[in-house]
């Protein structure tokens, strides 16, 4: 009988606190919630030296509380032409993840192996506020799930509620929490439901073999159902879609299970993205997860230098999922993450003209499908131009 996979509880061997982070309220809150964890205050440079050689497995057990410098609110790093990207905005409230997915790009993307929480949330919200104020005519989708899991540490930080409430008060923002956990209690305490709570999803066999320490699919769907019933919009990210002998059948079944758990009318968006990674990650996967099947399929080097499945294979995988989605919902917004126009055309029958067009289509879908969010019908012209922001340079 299938046993749901338990999410690994978040525990740390020690806490390292940057001197300038000591006085922040979030630091105090986190320390209060980890009373038995050894902690020390260490200057950034000393600390960086001490952890620079720390392997990931050990580094992930170190919690660093730091003050984030520079741009904490940024355009999603995305990828280069000719792959289309959706012009998502990321708010880097944390970096690293206590879970250990074999395919995770953070294994090579981040300099530091340790779990870092940036405690100056006021600064990041001020940056986000500036960005939103300077661009009132367009809708921003903002999320914290790029360099970290949005909710993995919410039991410690309790920031989900604060972030949801901040962005809900903004007329041109929709905030997304992206997770592989079931830690939604903090979000459910928010005074508003204007936010998207999303789950990265994969068939149970993939969750069990590749997504170490994450919640089981069953648990994720229970949490998604709970959030949908509470009034939040839900997102699902089929990312990364893996190719293996049973993949088409298992992804089709997965799609059915999502819609059994959450009514399609409450799903804000679904993303599809097949496995892709920088070549250097292949070595890391081989070393850290020798039993993983990630990267053992047929891979080619894409035009952005990342390893991907060959295009006809990606098209077949996407078609199988999309066909199943469309059986249950004709208008749920489905998009590709980092895919080329030929793939869009072959699978969807159309391709966004460019990244701005894709961004506009998001806004159009949200305004039309969810009038209760109060987003006005978007004007295409607003999305064609670059973004006015001191917080970060051109979005293009």
Partner 1 sequence: MNVVEIDLKEILRDFFFAFSTGADRSGLERSVRASGVLNPIPVLAADGGWRPLAGFSRIRAAEAAGLKTVPGRVLSADIPGWKHFADAVLEQAATRPLHLFEKARIVDILRRAGAPDTEITGRCGEALELSGSAPSLDELAGLLRLEPCLIRLLERYPVAFKQASFFLTLDPSGQRAAADLGRELQLRPVELTEIVRTAWEIGRRDGRPMHEVLAGASAGHGRQGMNRNERIASLRENLKRMRQPRLMNWNESLERARDGMRLPGFCVLGWDASLESPGLRLEALLRSESDAAALSAGLSDEQTRDSLRSMFELL
Binding site for partner 1 (CB under 8 A): 53, 283, 286-287, 290-293, 295-298, 300-303, 308, 310-313, 340, 342
Query: Which of 235, 295 has the CB closer to partner 1?
Result: 295
Nearest to partner 1 of 230, 303 (CB atom): 303
Tokens 């870092």: give the residue. Answer: 116
- Closest separation between CB of residue 296 and partner 1, Å? 4
| Buried residues in 305-344 as b, exposed as e (16+ CB within 10 A) | ebbbbebebbbbbbebbbebbeeeeeebbbbbbbbbbebb
d(CA 25, CA 7): 28
In the complex with partner 1, which residue's Cβ is closer, 286 or 353?
286
Question: What minimum distance in Å lies between the beta carbon of 227 and partner 1?
Answer: 37
What is the closest distance, in whole angstroms, from the C-beta atom of residue 121 to partner 1 in the complex?
A: 34
Q: How many CB atoms lie within 10 A of CB 59?
A: 18
Q: Which positions ≥6 away from 63 have C-beta within 8 Å?
A: 12, 14, 15, 16, 30, 34, 37, 114, 115, 116, 117
Nearer to partner 1, 143 or 273 (CB): 273
Alpha helices by DSSP H, listed for 262-354, are 279-288, 311-328, 341-348
CB of 285 to partner 1, least distance (A): 10
Q: 10 Å Cβ neighbour count for 38?
A: 10
Q: Rounded to the nearest whole angstrom, what is the least distance from the CB of residue 292 to partner 1 in the complex?
A: 8
Residue with tokens 């749920």: 332
Q: CB nearer to partner 1: give 71 or 310.
A: 310
Q: Are 321 and 349 in contact (CB under 8 A)?
A: no
Whichever of 273 and 295 has its CB closer to partner 1, that residue is 295
Q: What are phi and psi of 99, to 5 degrees?
A: -80, 175
Residue 290, both tokens: 């020798």
Nearer to partner 1, 290 or 349 (CB): 290
Nearer to partner 1, 75 or 295 (CB): 295
Q: How far is the CB of 303 from partner 1 (least distance, A)?
A: 6
| Residue 130 C-beta-side C-alpha neighbours within 13 Å | 17
Shortest reach from residue 287's CB to partner 1, in Å: 6
Task: Look at residues 14, 98, 117 and name the one whose alpha carbon lies nearest to residue 56.
Answer: 98
Of the candidates 215, 131, 140, 126, the residue with the CA atom closest to the CA atom of residue 179? 215
In contact, 184 and 227? CB cutoff 8 Å: yes
Residue with tokens 């949490």: 223
CB of 53 to partner 1, least distance (A): 5
Pairwise CA distance, residues 298 & 308, whole Å: 8
């Amino acid at each position: 009988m299938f046993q749901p996979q338990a999410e690994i509880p978040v525990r740390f061997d020690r806490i390292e606190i940057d001197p300038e982070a000591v006085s922040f309220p979030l630091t105090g809150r986190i320390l209060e919630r980890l009373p038995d964890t050894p902690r020390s205050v260490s200057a950034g440079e000393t600390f960086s030296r001490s952890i620079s050689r720390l392997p990931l497995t050990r580094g992930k057990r170190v919690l660093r509380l730091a003050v984030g410098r520079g741009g904490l609110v940024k355009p999603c790093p995305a990828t280069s032409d000719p792959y289309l990207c959706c012009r998502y905005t990321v708010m880097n409230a944390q970096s690293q993840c206590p879970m250990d997915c074999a395919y995770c790009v953070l294994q090579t993307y981040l300099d530091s192996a340790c779990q870092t929480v940036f405690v100056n949330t006021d600064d990041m919200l001020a940056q986000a506020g500036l960005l939103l104020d300077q661009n009132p005519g367009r809708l921003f989708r903002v999320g914290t799930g790029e360099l970290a899991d949005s909710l993995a540490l919410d039991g410690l930080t309790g920031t989900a509620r604060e972030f949801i409430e901040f962005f809900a008060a903004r007329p041109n923002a929709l905030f997304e929490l992206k997770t592989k956990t079931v830690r939604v209690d903090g979000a459910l305490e928010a005074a508003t439901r204007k936010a998207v709570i999303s789950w990265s999803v994969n068939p149970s066999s993939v969750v069990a073999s590749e997504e170490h320490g994450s919640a089981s699919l069953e648990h994720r769907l229970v949490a998604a159902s709970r959030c949908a019933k509470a009034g939040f919009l839900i997102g699902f990210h089929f990312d990364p879609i893996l190719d293996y002998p049973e993949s088409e059948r298992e992804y089709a079944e997965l799609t059915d299970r999502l819609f059994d758990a959450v009514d399609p009318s409450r799903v804000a968006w679904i993303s599809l993205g097949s496995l892709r990674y920088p070549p250097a990650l292949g070595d890391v996967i081989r070393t850290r997860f020798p039993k993983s099947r990630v990267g053992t399929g047929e891979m080619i080097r894409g035009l952005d230098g990342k390893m991907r499945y060959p295009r006809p294979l990606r098209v077949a995988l996407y078609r199988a999922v999309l066909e199943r989605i469309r059986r249950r919902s004709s208008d749920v917004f489905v998009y590709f993450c980092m895919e080329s126009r030929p793939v869009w055309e072959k699978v969807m029958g159309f391709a966004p003209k460019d990244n701005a067009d894709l961004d506009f289509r998001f806004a159009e879908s949200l305004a039309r499908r969810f009038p209760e969010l109060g987003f006005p019908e978007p004007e295409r012209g607003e999305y064609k131009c670059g973004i006015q922001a001191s917080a970060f340079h051109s979005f293009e």
